[in-house]
Amino acid sequence: MRTSGVDNNPGVIGFRSVYGEHHLCPDPDTAGPAWLDFMKSLAQKLGQRPVLMCAADIFVAALGRYARELEPYYRFSPAAELQAALCTKERQYALAEQYGMPRPLTSYIQSKAQLSDFVERARFPCLLKPRQEREWASLPESHPFRPKKAVLAGSASDLVAHYSSVEPYRPEAVAQEMIAGPDNNKYCYLAVYASDGSRLGHCIVRELRCFPAQLGSASMVRHDACRDIDEICDTFLRKLGYVGLCEIEVKRDALDGAVKLIEVNPRFSGTGDCSSYAGVEVGWLHYLDLIGQNPAPVEPLNNDFHHIIAFLEVPGVVTHLASGLLAWPELIRSYRAPLAFYDFNGRDLRATVKTMWECFKNAAVIFRRNGFRLWPRKRDGA
């Protein structure tokens, strides 16, 4: 089977990988028609109406926007337009409310007046998020929120100040109560649904660590079958009429024990890679379904592993140790389980070496910022 990767950023690690061909495309956000022409030409070059799967929101949005034009050239999820809607936070949370997916208090903000209404009802701390992560990537280089997908506000005044700093550039945002509890109260539901709406495979993993702490993506997870999370997420996606790959991140609220939505990622993801180690090849199942092979549903076969995204894990461990969120004995125990990696592969040395260099470079910056300490500072009087 021939595999090709497409991206508009030549710096992504995939361009160093030995797996598959690599094609540099126009930016679908800023040059949509050129991207569409490129994708049509690529399909003709590859032949046989290839299967198209997305691994980044920018391409999920583009596919949803140009689904009708691309349908003669590619096979892809018939829910492409729904997936594109799920890529924007305001539509995602609106759909969650419409179809009964539990979520914290959330409001789509377009002005300070709307923010004031949210502040009057909210329980702090709260989060401020862009509608799409890449919207804040276009903030001025000096802006502190530019590399972030969410910022924490401990009080109403903090939230107002955060919004005031982005409003001149991006007035549309999402304000949301933060779900109480530690990072290891977070779970990811990973699944794939067939063209007839049936579930082909799924697994659930629990977060052990993330980077940045509280607001970041999982750096280490483990399999953890939870019936209530399974039922909540499966019911939501079936109500939507969902088809294709999906990751739903949820958190169990420490205050009331309820499972609440963090976000939906209607695509491949880093954490989603661990489904393969659980024995559920979601990408392969989706491929077979799209070419009309009607694959049989698969259940998880392996639950004895810890899945690591090294790019996040290395700087994350430094941060957790220095801040006291992680103790050395706990860290050592976490590495005793069989380990599976997203971005460390001895057969893919160019990509692996690049990843290791970048993650250790980032860890060194954090290490220096913490005064070259890998343990928390003692408080006065301690």
What CA–CA distance (Å, rounded) separates 63 from 52?
A: 9
Clarify whether residues 242 and 324 are in a common domain. Answer: yes
Q: Judge if 137 and 262 occupy the same domain.
A: no
CA triple 208-210-215, angle to 5 deg? 130
For the whole model, what pTM was predicted?
A: 0.92
Q: What pLDDT is recorded for position 379?
A: 47
Kindly state whether residues 281 and 161 are assigned to the same domain: no
- Say if residue 338 is preceded by a cis peptide, omega within 30 of 0: no
Shared domain check, 364 and 291: yes
- Residue at 196 is within a domain: yes
The pLDDT value recorded for residue 377 is 63
**pLDDT < 70 regions, the chain:** 372, 377-382
Separation between Cα atoms, residue 56 and residue 13, nearest integer Å: 13
Do 191 and 321 lie in a common domain?
yes
Q: How far apart are CA 190 and CA 199, in angstroms?
A: 11
pLDDT of residue 291: 96
Q: Are strands 186-193 and 244-252 parallel, antiparallel or unpaired?
A: antiparallel
Provide the domain limits for residue 123. 105-177
Write out the DSSP string of 108-166. Answer: EESSHHHHHHHHHH--SSEEEEESSHHHHTTS-TT-TTTT-S-EEESSHHHHHHHHHHH
Cis preceding linkage at 212, omega within 30? yes
Q: Which residue has the tokens 């955060």?
A: 162
Q: Do 138 and 266 reside in the same domain of the chain?
A: no
Domain membership of residue 381 (yes or no) is no
Q: What CATH number is given to the structural domain containing 116?
A: 3.30.1490.20
Q: Note whether 133 and 279 are same-domain residues.
A: no
Domain contains 380 = no
Q: Tell me, yes or no, whether 230 lies in a domain.
A: yes
Among 318, 264, 332, 324, which Cα is nearest to 86's? 264
Quick one: 195 and 301 in the same domain? yes
The answer to whether position 39 is within a domain reads: yes
SS3 state of residue 195: coil
Same domain (yes/no): 158, 198: no
Same domain, 193 and 225: yes
Which pLDDT score is estimated for 371?
72
Question: What is the structure's pLDDT at 367?
Answer: 78
Q: Please give the Cα distance from 107 to 116 (Å, whole number).
A: 11
How many domains, in total, are found in the chain? 3
Cα-flanking dihedrals φ and ψ of residue 306, to 5°?
Answer: -115, 125
Q: Are residues 265 and 160 in the same domain?
A: no
For residues 61 and 10, membership in a common domain is answered with yes
> For residue 298, is it within any domain?
yes
Q: Is residue 382 part of a domain?
A: no
pLDDT at 372: 66
Among the candidates 37, 52, 86, a domain finishes at 86
- Does some domain include residue 164? yes
